[in-house]
Amino acid sequence: MMTFLYFIPNSWLPLLESAFYALIFPGFVAILLLAFFIIWFERKAAARVQMRYGPLWVSKRTGGIIQLLADMIRFSFQEFIIPQGADFIPFVFLPGLLLAFSVLPTVFIPIGPDYSHIFPSNYSLLLAVAFTLVIPVYLVALGWAADNKFSFIGALREAYLLVSYEVPFILAVASAFLLYGSLDLVKIVGIQEGTLPGIILNPLAAIVYIIAVIRATGRVPYDIVEADSELVFGPYTEYSSLMFGFVMGVPYIELYSYSLLFSVLFLSGWAPVTGIGFLGGLILPGIVTFVKSVIVMCFLVFLRAVYPRYKLDKAVRAGWSWVFYLALAALLLSAVVSRVLW
Amino acid sequence: MSDQKTPRKSAFGEVKGHIDALATGFKYFVDPHRMTLDYPAEAMELPKNYRGFFRLVDEKCIGCSLCEIVCPSNAIVMMQLPVAQSPAPQAGAQAPARPGPKVKKRPVVDWGMCIFCYFCVDVCPTEAFEPSSIHDLSYFEESEYRPTFEGFLKLPESPSKNSKKVVAKLDEKNGIKYEEKGDKE
Ligand code: SF4
Ligand code: SF4
């Protein structure tokens, strides 16, 4: 397997692989680099469409790709202000929890066929979805803790939207489950490899999933929670310095988890590439999965360039009407397709 | 932009509207029509009578205060300066019959209040203000908006002094296009 690491005892290898999985490749380092890239891409793509340049002057030759690094350095030298009325412990610790819980779903999402010995589970879909659904609770708590009207309104909006879009999201995931008849994501990809990608088998579920993801991660047109022109930065308004950097990154990391799950559920994950072992069964297929989810992310952040923001009432109404109907139709379609195929 | 349509009020029309919007966005993403001026590197060639910062030519001013009176935003303050300090009292052909005034009045503009209407430049009977088209200045502190008398005697330096001068042209495809000044002829 990892012959180049001959000096490490064999019994350590699984542990090392797990550590690599969590810390480097689909895990932490990859997420950080990807967050940098995707924020840059979002600004740049919106600028291109809107006849501007976007970030440019920090490293002009590379098109300003290290702009975020410069911003981070600036943040890290700023003072971290805790408002007087804020609830100290939630205010300080919730961003960390948010960050942790937005990274956590990636642990349950396999990126290669040989994933099962890292985290053996028959319920990986359920676990991944469960952990992504915890985040909004912290977000509401965070908006409450900051003692600021903008944070509070942002938190309320989050709660409203949470109720109206979580149901379609869960229905979309349920129709995926109904379609494949399994909660094990490795098996789900196997089924898609045998037939067709899920986005062709059940496009409705994919559409509902995407809409719910846009809502959950606060991308345009559903950036109602953060709404920078109405509520300064929604629940995150009171954060300054490095803490602001954290909370700004959270939606992008969430986006990553959701896109990874999307590419596994609907884009047949690592489909053309399979193998066994650490390199062939995890890293190479992992790159395919990763690239697919990066494309999904790029599409989702690209929407910023095209759409204006929905009004809250319109978004809630849409969530309970056509998105909900679409989700029910997806469920029905799944039942039909799974009946026909299996 | 001529192919803008409002989507129909039906489910099909709305879906089509979304697809159209995405397609338009994608079109611009692939083929961007940028209108941004790359400012410090290139700057607009301004028209000849562009009203920018101006300076006072001390020798021409007769201290009549007309500029102060006409200024609509009260940006001009007349300063009382001792005559001995003035750089070059006109070496007149004949000596003055009686001793001249001890003080002279000279205008100084507060750039924070000035609206660049150029009333003062127009009203001055001796054309003592020298206009320029410099407009792109910024200051770090509020106090720098008010130049001293000596500061008002020279023009400020434009940050885009050495940048490439371009002219804006209307362009059918792009909206606005910038062309180098050289190939305007
Ligand atoms: S340009 Fe207009 S506003 Fe400015 S000092 Fe002259 S008269 Fe006043
Ligand atoms: S600048 Fe012109 S208008 Fe103003 S005081 Fe001097 S001479 Fe009079």
> Using 50, 70 and 90 to split pLDDT, how confident is the model at B119?
very high
| Res B64 pLDDT > 80 | yes
* Structure token pair of residue A243: 């803490």
Nearest to B34 among A53, A305, A322 (CB): A53
Gyration radius of chain A over CA positions: 21
Instruction: List, in order, residues 6 or more apart from B8 with CB less than 8 Å away.
Output: B14, B16
Instruction: Please judge whether B36 and A53 are an interchain contact, meaning their C-beta atoms are less than 8 angstroms apart.
Output: yes
CATH number of B54-83+101-152: 3.30.70.3270
| Res B105 pLDDT > 80 | yes
| Res B70 pLDDT > 90 | yes
Could you tell me the pTM of the whole model? 0.76
- What mean pLDDT is predicted for residues B114-127? 91
Domain spans of chain A, in order of start: 83-341
Secondary structure of chain B in the HEC alphabet? CCCCCCCCCCHHHHHHHHHHHHHHHHHHHHCCCCCCCCCCCEEECCCCCCCCCEEECCCCCCCCCHHHHHCCCCCEEEEEEEHHHCCCCCCCCCCCCCCCCCEEEEEEECCCCCCCCCHHHHHCCCCCEEECCCCCCCCCCHHHHCCCHHHHCCCCCCCCCCCEEEEEEEECCCEEEEEEHHHHC
Q: Tell me, what's the ipTM?
A: 0.74
| Res B184 pLDDT > 50 | no
| Res A233 pLDDT > 50 | yes
Amino acid in the structure at residue B99: P
Question: Atom of ligand 2 at shortest distance to CA of B65?
Answer: 5
C-alpha closest to that of A210 among A326, A332, A310, A338: A326
**Beta strand pairing status for B164-171 and B175-180?**
antiparallel
Instruction: Please judge whether A306 and B22 are an interchain contact, meaning their C-beta atoms are less than 8 angstroms apart.
Output: yes
Q: Higher-confidence residue: A150 or B176?
A: A150
Give the integer Cα–Cα distance in Å for A11 and A14: 7
Q: Tell me if A202 sits within 8 A of A176, measured CB to CB.
A: yes
Neighbours of B18 (CB within 10 A): 14
Q: B114 CA distance to ligand 1 centroid (A)?
A: 5
- Return left, alpha or beta for B36; rule: phi > 0 is left, psi -120 to 50 is alpha, else beta: beta
- Residue A205 pairs in a beta bridge with none
Q: Higher-confidence residue: A165 or B97?
A: A165
Domain spans of chain B, in order of start: 54-83+101-152
- What mean pLDDT is predicted for residues B121-139? 87
On chain A, the residues whose CB falls within 8 A of the CB of B36 are 51-53
* Structure token pair of residue A109: 């999402």
**DSSP character at residue A147:** -
- Residue B104 pairs in a beta bridge with B81
Q: Is B43 in the pocket of ligand 2 (CB under 6 A)?
A: no
Neighbours of B85 (CB within 10 A): 10
Question: Atom of ligand 1 at shortest distance to CA of B74?
Answer: 8
